[in-house]
Each structure stands twice: as C-alpha cells, then as structure tokens.
Amino acid sequence: MKTKTLFRAALAALLLLSAADSVCGQSNRGLTIRPPQSSPPLREDRRPPVLWINPELGKFKPMKVQSVDVDIKVRGHLATTTMEMTFFNPNGRVLEGELIFPLGEGQTISGYALEVEGKLRQAVVVEKEKGREIFEEIVRRGVDPGLAELTKGNVFRTRVYPIPANGTKRLSVTFEQELADGEKGFRYLLPLAFSEKVGKFHARVEVVKQETAPMPEAEQTEGLTFEKWRDSFVAELTTENVAHEKPLAFIVPKMAERPQVFLVSDKLEPAQMFFHARVEPEVPPAPAMQQPDRIVLYYDASGSAEKRDRKREFAFLKEWMKALGHVTVEVIAFRNDADKPVTVEVKDGDASTLIGLLENLPVDGGTSLGAVQSGGAPLTVLMSDGFSNFGDAEPKVPLKDGAGLPLVVIHAAPMADSARLESIARRTGGHVVNLLTTSTEDALAAMRQSPFQFLSAKVISGKVTDLAPGLPETVTRGFSIAGRCEGKGEIELAFGYAGKVMATRRVTLNPDDALEAERGDFVRRAWAQRKIAELALDPQANESAITALGKEHRIVTAGTSLLVLERMEDYVRHRIQPPEADLQEKYAAMLKSQPKGGATRDESQHLDEVAKRWSDFKEWHGKRHPWLESVLKPTAEREAALYTALAGANTSKNNSQRGTLSPEDAAAARALADKASDLASRWQKEGRNEDTRAAWIEEASNVLLAVDVLRQRRLELMPQSEPPQADNGRPGSGTGSGGGLGAGGVPMAPAAAAAQPMPVLAPAPASPAEGTPRRSGAGYMLDSAGSSFSGGGVRVADAEGRSSTMSGSIEVKAWDPDTPYLKKIRKAEDAYAAYLKERKDNAGSSAFYLDCADYFREEKKDDRLALRVLSNLAEMELENAPLLRILAYRLQQLGRYDLAVPLFEEVLKTRGEEPQSRRDLALCLSRRENPDLARAATLLWEVVKRKWDGRFQGIDVIVLHELNDLLQRAPKEGPKDLRPDVEAIGIQKRFLDDVPVDLRVALTWDADSTDIDLWVIDPTGEVCIYNHNQTRTGGAMSNDFTGGYGPEVFTIRRALPGTYTVKVNYYGNRQQKLAGATTVQVEFQTSFDRAGTKYQSVTRRLKDNKEVIEVGKFVFKPELEAE
C-alpha cells in the first residue's frame, strides 16, 4: 500500500487563552477555543501555522518551544515516531491551548502522554463520547485531564492545559505509518518547519536490522549521518536555538526481493501470532483499454475546493485531454446540489475551454456527494476531497457487478476523506488517483489502462485468519497484507487486471522468525491499522468493530479518544485502568473497595429525583393562579399612575417617533382604571353567576387589552419609564441583593426591588374555565419575511355553551444586521459576484453566511442560492458542533428538516456527551414530513433517564414535557417502527402526564461556557427571569443554564389577554466564537402538549456582554362565539 507522509510538523497550531480571568464568574475557567480555519499546506516544504494567540486577550509574549526530542524507529517498511515537546510560557499568567497534528494518509496515533506532577503519564484509549463526558466533568472541578481526539481529515487535536505562568508543559505523541514506496527505497519524511527557534532539538533515528545504510536526502536535511550499530543503522541530530526550515528525510534501501514478514505472538494467547508482510509482485504489461469518447466529470466546486491544489488538477486535465485528442466532456459542477450539465467538446487535445470553465466556477457552498450519479457514460470522473457535509452523502453509483461503468476519483487534496473516496471508486470497479502522491506520468498511465490490483488471498497451508485486506485494491509498486495465524502457514496472493489473475506471490509464515512479545507491539498495531483501514470503507456498518479494535490496540480512531487523568480516584470512578504498571496495582486495590451495582443505584436515584422535579412542575401548572379577576385593577391603576406622572415629559431622543404622553392620554388611562375598578367590584357577584360570567370575562379582557395598548405605547415612546419589579417573596425567585430588572429591561436598584407587590383581590369561585379539557390548539403562520403571524385560538367553554377563544398573534421583532458587507452587496449590480468578493474577507465568519443567505432569500427571492450560501457553515470547520447546530436550526426554520436531520446526527456523534444533542435530533425527527416518532421518543427518554453533568441540571423536566407532547401527538395507526412503544422504550408510567400550556418559549444558543438569559414580560409588566422564575399569574422559568447551550424555557398554562414580550439577555461569555458573537434561537410555541401544537422560531445574534434584545411578542385576545 502506497502512503505518503504529510505530517505537518509536530506543532501545527497552538491556541492560547487565559484561564485566569473569566468574563462571567459562574465557572472556573473557559475551555479551548478553535483556531481560525485556514487552508492546509499544499507542498511538503510549506511552513504550517505554529503559534496563534487569541488577540482578544491582549498582548502576550510568544510561546516558546523549549525542547523537542524525536525518536524514530524504522523496521523495514514500518516506522514508529515519538515526539516529546516542552513548551515555555514567558507570560505572567496561566495559559491554555490546543495542539493540532494534521496526519498524512496512512498515519495513525498510537500514543499520547501529558505531564502530570513532573512525569509523563500515558493516555488510555476510550470511546469518544465517554472521553469527552469524563473530560468535561473533571475539568469543571478544577482538575486538569488531557483529551486527544482524531477529527475528520485525519487531524489529531489535544488540549494543553495548564501551561503555568513563567513555566513549562511537556507532552508526547506517538504515530505509526507504512512508509511510502519510492523507486530507490522506502522514504521517511518528518517536516520540522517550526516558525520560531527551538531551544533544544534532538532526533535519534534507528533503522532496525538493516543491511544497507539509509541514504539521507542531503538537499533536504542537514547533519544526518547514519552509522552501523549492532545490526542496525543509527543517526542523531542535536541543535540549540535553531529554527529548522527543512524536513528530516531519508531513504531506507529495500532488502532482497523476498517477502518481508514481521511476526509476533499474541500476549494473551501465545500460540496465536500476528503478522504483517510486504511483497513486490511482478507487474505484467497492462492490457490495452479502450479510451472513452465521452466523459462525465463531476467537479466539486464547494467552499473546500479552495483547499485543493486546483492548479495541479488543471495541469493533469490538460495533459490527459492532450493524450485523448478528441473527447466530449459533460461537466456537472456540484456543491450542496448539482448544477445543470455543461458539454465541452475537446478537439485536438485542446483543454483550454474545459479548464477555463472549471477555473471560472464559483467556489462556494457545502458538499453533497449525493449529487454524483455514475452510469450512462463510458467513464465517470469525480474530482473532490470526499468530505460530504450537507444533505445526501451517498453517491448514486451502481455496484461493480451491476450495469454501471467505472467511476474514477481524481484529486489533489492534502486533507481528504480517503476511505470514502476509496469506497466510492471500488463500488464501480474504479480507482483513486491522488495527484499529490502520484506523478503525472503514473496518473496518465492509470487513466490509459486498468489498474493493477491485489485480487485475493488463499491459504495454502496452516491456520491463517483475519486477513486484511480481504477486498481488491490497487497496487503500485509494493503490497502489504496482515493477519493472524497459529503455527506455520503459507498464503498465496493473487494480482491482476480487471479481475483476471496475472501474477501470484507466496508468503511463508514461520513462528521461529517471530519477534519477542515486548518488542513486537508495532506488528500487532500494524495488523489492527490494516484491519481498521478496510473496515473504514463502510464506517457506519463497522463502527463498533472499529472502536473495539482501536481500544484493544491503543489506536485512535474516529470513535475513540486518548484520555489522561490526574487522580487515581477518577480512574476508579470511571472504571478506566491506567496503562502504567506502577498505577495498575493501586487501581486494582481501590477498585475492590468500590460498592457493586453502583450504576443501577445511581440511575434509580436519579429517576427518583427527576420524578420529584416533574411533580413540582405539574403541581405549579395545575394550581389555580390569579387571573383577570385579580390583576385587572392593579394593572390599570399602575398604568394610570404612570401616565399621570409622565404626562408632558419628553420621549427618548433616540426614538424615531417623537411625541409626548399628553394629559388627554393620562385621562384615558384614568378612565380605564376606573372601569377596571368597577369590574373588580362586580366580579364577586357576576363571577358566581353562570349567566353573567362570560360577559364579565369579555368586558374585563377588553379593558386589560386597552390598558396593554397604553402600556405598549408608553414603552415605545419612553423605554426607560418602567418602574422596578418587586420581589414577590417566593423562595428561590426573588431578585437577590443585586436588585433586578424592571419590566422594560432596565436594571433596578436594590432599594427599589424591595417594593411591595401589587395587591391581589379576593378570589371568586373557580376562575373562568380553569383547567378545562376542551381547549384546542392555536394556529400561527409566519410569513416568509418573518415579520408577523396570527390565527387559531385556545378555546375556553362557559356555562352557556358559548366559548371564549384566546385568539393570538405573534410579532417577531424586525432585525437588520446592517453590516458593511450587506451594504456593498445591496448596491452592486451583480449581488452574487459582490458576495463572492466579500466572502474573501469574511470566510471565517458564520454571521456573514447567515446574513447573506437571508438577503438572497428575503430580498432577492432566490431560495436555491440562499441555501448554497447558508450551506457554507458546514464547510467552515470539520466536526464543529456549534456551527452545525446553527446551520441545522436555521434549516428547521426554513422547513428543511430533511437537511437538518443529518446535521443533528453528526452533532450527536461528535457531542454525544451533551443532552442537547439528543434533544435537538429528537425534536427535528418528530417534526419532519415523515416523522420518526419512535426514535424521537427514545432519544428524549435517554435524556431523561441519564444522569448528566451538573451544568445540565433541569433539562430532564424540560425534555419530559416535550416527550409527553410528542406522545400526545403520536398517531394511533401507521408503521409500528415509527410509532413510540412506551413499554419497549422503557418509559415509566409516573412520567406520563399531559401538562397543557397556552404559551411556551424555548431559548437555545450555540456556545459552551456562555450564559444567555430568557426574559418574558407579561401584560401586567411582571418579568419572568432566572432570579424571579415564577410569576403571580402562573408563569414559570426553567433552570438557569449558565454553562452554555440552554434550553431555557418559559411556560404558562393560562395566558392573560394582552402582550407577552420576549427578550434575550447576553449575561456573559468565556469563549471567543467564530463569528465574534453568540447565535441564539428562540422558539415560540402555542397550545403546547395539546393536539395542534404550533411552533415558530427565529435566530438572532448577541455581540456584547449585557446586551439585551427584544425577539418578539405574543398578543392574546379573547373572543366569544356561539357553538
């Protein structure tokens, strides 16, 4: 197997942020920030980014690489590299960072160690979700674990913390690879392009059991001289205060033509052996292949195309077309969807028209490989990096033995999904040509003839199993195979063209040649790496097998992470055995003292606690709270008093509607107060009489609505005129010593906060139709501009058979980001061209794509282009959960649940330790056109029954309410696999209760370590907020999520007539976001947990701490109608 080392220096990027100062003091410190996304290097000698310091934190002295110690061991065609690095922080404050290793194709991480108490402690391989969950839980206790992960694109990331003030931090990373097979031998390459001088650098290279001396690449490496040492060759390089510009590179001459075989016994079963063998089959002349007269070229023009070496791709196309002479090329550019085909006739090998077409394609948007469809043409070519991140990820390609024709993948992408591209090509009998690792001559030969392939392996003698690869694959010069055996054995490898055997080679396996068990770990890992590489061709079907192999052989995979813990108590608590022998004995002793059945008891206890919180939630919403009969008079009296006091005062100078509150206005307010007083005095009599009850409700509602109109006008003209809110004396809901907020969002003084609450009238018999089961859902429709919507109603029956219907309308606050780039785009004749120009300076901003997508959809009425622009969020950074959440939320708002579901699925894979990941996916699945309510209910129940980290306290009750709403809406008929089975899911009966509410508002946001608060102001002016979380009329605010994401939810069972104003407050942020802002989503819900629940959501951005924005308003109006 031909591989190429693309390791971009040990220190690719180190991000630093202060752990000493936090904007919001509700957590110990912030977490790692991501680096700005940049194009990866396209050449081996290109300098990678080295140290990046967050400019928001002020000026710091650059971090120094104090020392680097590299140990390289080469055994034939296999190499193991360990890099130990020490960083020095010359600043007077503790810093945190992230170390990034872009690995080359075929390279895998097999070791990671972090300095703990002056010693390097080795990491343990764990499932990725478990590793993150443990990491987040421990780091918030002020302890400092280490977590290293492999992300898409074969990029290794690890958090580095703490780097002490004026101190050092040490870590090491080990990676393994099969060396690239060159004509002269096996080539090893390690870039050393550190941007700064390295204090002390030492490298030791040992080529084990090598007969011929390795050859240093003199032009590339200084001072590397190999000398004979026992049966090996060794070279060492030591420097001080040198900035190494050139890579460490050398050639290992090949041994004799005989197969090279490494064997080692299984530590647990010594009779069983692992082996890794390499052969060089004789390559017979390739049979002539008919050259195509027609080619379909699928060209990936998504945003990530900028990271490919497109010039190299065009140069290859130029030579290929020259070789073909005359050919018809049908170009289909694709991004998040496919463009219409464009046909180009190439004559006399002139590719200028074709290349010109490709060069001028707008490089923009996400990637959907589902746009690729093989078949119909003699040859289909795909040019892409293989990262499918938006919509359908599976190309429509027929199988090799079907009616389809070959699909060949050609690319020059330093970061590519190699396994996916290989899988796509193999399905059709095609192959992959990597222009970065293949010369133009070899690439042209690969297009002229069928690829020479390994076809199969046959066991000639002995017991040989678990061979990898087991499927055909392309062979260039050499081929390697790995497997397991017992005793002596022999296998025969078959090679050929187009499925026809043209050559064979035999490999003999002799246990007498086996390495010592302690020295042969690299063989076991090499077998596991080969096996994992083949399983990765179908990662979804083989996910569990890949994870199991990674854990067993300490290899980092897409589903595993490397975790370092400081305290033995944490190893024991999470049942993770440390790798060091001196710690294992202590671990075993502590484990014995742990009580059995702890997990079962913990879950049972947790569910009992949830049941108590759920009971409290139901009790609050089932209570009889004051309504019109109690709040009408004091609300009207207060408004009249304010109008009297403010009559004649100037309005806010910043308000565009100049004017004053006149004495006539004050008189009108006074008249309404008098009317309210009269109604209050009549309630005791008319409220008891069924004949007069409905009329009283209608009259009182109209008065409260009129008062509400006056209040809204006052706040519009004089936003600062709202008096402070009083503490209602309810435990846990007071304003606290810091004062609080007035209903208009104005901070109030502690003295004002101590004011007495409004008086409450004596209750009449049962309030109007409280708790009646005859309520039906209110329907709301939002127009495409997101300005307002109305309709429907909550129905309340009276004794006469008439009903009081709470008809509602919602006004979403108009919002224009008014950014410089939008101003330029609006002025341009060609808006899309202007957008592409502005994109160059704003490519790293999610806000840019959100704003521009809204512009093309709302102002230019171009939905397809808007979707393309929006899909760029999926391209910004691989596996960035916050960005994917923003994108998925926005797609839900546009009704594109089909596109949102795969994104939420991806978030669940990368952030499964956060309950919001399951909740988001569940709600999306339940609302799409063909809902999967069974899986949605299962996901929601998982959120409820699992005990999460303390920062997610209270999400279980929120999700229980949503689960009951889902079950209440579930159809009784239809496919059983899509309908929830409560018993099969395991939902306990004590959690199955409908809690219908008139109004529900849910706030979520994209950032961890960020505190966003939801405020809801009712028609009386009372604010429901985190420190005043229950209102007099029954409003309730959920738990305050200070650690990020939300949700924060407001609910009220029986809404008052009038306006409910929804605001969002940016309380504090300890994390720099990609857009320089935090994106929030507010979802308005009516008639929740009843048949006919309606949803509508909006997205907004908050830029600064303490910023408060109004998102929208609910207006409820009762109407009487005959039944």
CATH number of the domain that 509 lies in? 2.60.40
Give the pLDDT score at 1119.
53
End of a domain among 517, 539, 561? 539
The confidence band for 194, taking pLDDT boundaries of 50, 70 and 90, is confident
- Quote the strand ranges of 788-907, DSSP E: 788-797, 803-812
Q: Could you read off the pLDDT of 1004-1031 as tens digits, one per residue?
A: 988 777 888 999 999 999 999 999 999 9
pLDDT (0 to 100) of residue 809: 60
Query: Into how many domains does the chain fold?
Result: 5
The reported pLDDT for the residue numbered 1041 is 86
1114 and 1063 within one domain: yes
In a domain, 547, yes or no: no
Tell me, yes or no, whether 633 and 775 share the same domain: yes
Query: Between the CA atoms of 1025, 1026, 1027 and 1029, what dihedral angle is there, to the nearest 10 degrees?
Result: 70
Would you place residue 58 in the very low, low, confident or very high pLDDT band (cuts 50, 70, 90)? low
For residue 1087, what pLDDT is reported? 84
Distances (CA, A) of 333 to 329, 336, 862, 956: 12, 10, 19, 46
Q: Which of 1030, 1039, 883, 884 is nearest to 961 (CA)?
A: 1039
Query: Do 328 and 473 fall within a single domain?
Result: no
**Confidence band for 806, pLDDT divided at 50, 70 and 90:** low
Sequence-distant (6+) residues with CB within 8 A of 230 are none
The answer to whether residues 324 and 280 belong to one domain is no
Question: Using 50, 70 and 90 to split pLDDT, how confident is the model at 27?
Answer: very low
E strand or H helix at 151:
strand 146-151
Give domain status of residue 951, yes or no.
no
pLDDT digits (tens, 9 = 90+) for 877-922: 888 888 999 999 999 999 999 999 999 999 999 899 999 999 999 9
Residue 17 banded pLDDT, cuts 50, 70, 90: very low
pLDDT of residue 1108: 86
Residue 368 within a domain: yes
Q: For residue 702, give the 3-state DSSP assignment.
A: helix
Give pLDDT, residue 757: 35
Q: Answer whether residue 53 shows pLDDT above 50.
A: no
pLDDT of residue 812: 67
CB neighbours of 575 closer than 8 A, spacing ≥ 6? 591
Q: What are phi and psi of 46, to 5 degrees?
A: -80, 135
Position 213 scores a pLDDT of 92
DSSP string, 608-671: HHHHHHHHHHHHHHHS----HHHHHHHHHHHHHHHHHHHTT-B--TT-SS--B--HHHHHHHHH
Give the pLDDT score at 790.
32
pLDDT digits (tens, 9 = 90+) for 67-125: 999 999 999 999 999 999 998 889 888 877 778 777 877 888 999 999 988 899 999 99
Q: What is the pLDDT of residues 596-623, one digit of tens each?
A: 655 566 788 999 999 999 999 999 999 9
726 confidence band (pLDDT: 50, 70, 90) = low
Among 580-584, 649-653, 834-838, 1081-1085, the range scoring the smallest mean pLDDT is 649-653
Q: Over 80: is that where the pLDDT of 223 sits?
A: no
pLDDT at 652 over 60: no
Check if the beta carbon of residue 257 is closer than 8 Å to that of residue 224: no
pLDDT per position as a tens digit, 414-446: 889 988 999 999 888 889 999 998 889 989 988
Please, how many CA atoms are within 13 Å of residue 772, restricted to the half-sphere of its CB? 17
| Pair type for strands 248-252 and 186-190 | antiparallel
Considering the domain architecture, whether residues 328 and 188 belong to the same structural domain is answered as no
Q: How far apart are the first and last CA of the chain?
A: 78
Condensed to tens digits (0 to 9), the pLDDT of residues 375-412 reads 678 899 999 999 999 999 989 876 555 445 789 999 99
For the chain, how many residues are written? 1123
Q: Is residue 133 part of a domain?
A: no
Do 638 and 725 have their domain in common? yes
Helices (H), 115-238: 128-139
Q: Which helix (H) or strand (E) holds 494?
A: strand 479-497
Choose one of 397, 415, 444: the last residue of a domain.
444
Please give the average per-residue pLDDT across 246-252, as a whole number.
87
Q: What is the DSSP string of 393-427?
A: -S-B---TTTT---EEEEE--SS--HHHHHHHHHH
Do 727 and 638 reside in the same domain of the chain? Answer: yes
Q: How big is the CA angle at 840 (ends 835 and 845), to the nearest 5 degrees?
A: 85
Q: Are residues 310 and 419 in the same domain?
A: yes
Are 403 and 413 within one domain? Answer: yes
Domain coverage including residue 719: 626-779
Beta strands in 301-422 (DSSP E): 327-334, 342-346, 379-383, 407-411
Q: What is the pLDDT of residues 1029-1086, one digit of tens each?
A: 999 999 999 999 887 788 999 999 999 999 999 999 988 755 433 335 688 899 998 8
Same domain, 440 and 343: yes
594 lies in some domain? no
Cα dihedral 129, 130, 133, 136 sign: negative
Residue 788 banded pLDDT, cuts 50, 70, 90 = very low
Do both 785 and 771 map to the same domain? no
pLDDT at position 480 over 70: yes
Domain-located, residue 1052:
yes
In a domain, 1106, yes or no: yes
Tokens encoding 1031? 């209102």
Whether residue 1118 sits in one domain with residue 1070: yes
Asked whether residue 355 is domain-assigned, the answer is: yes
Which of these three, 511, 539, 567, is where a domain ends? Answer: 539
Distance CA(217)–CA(239), nearest Å, equals 19
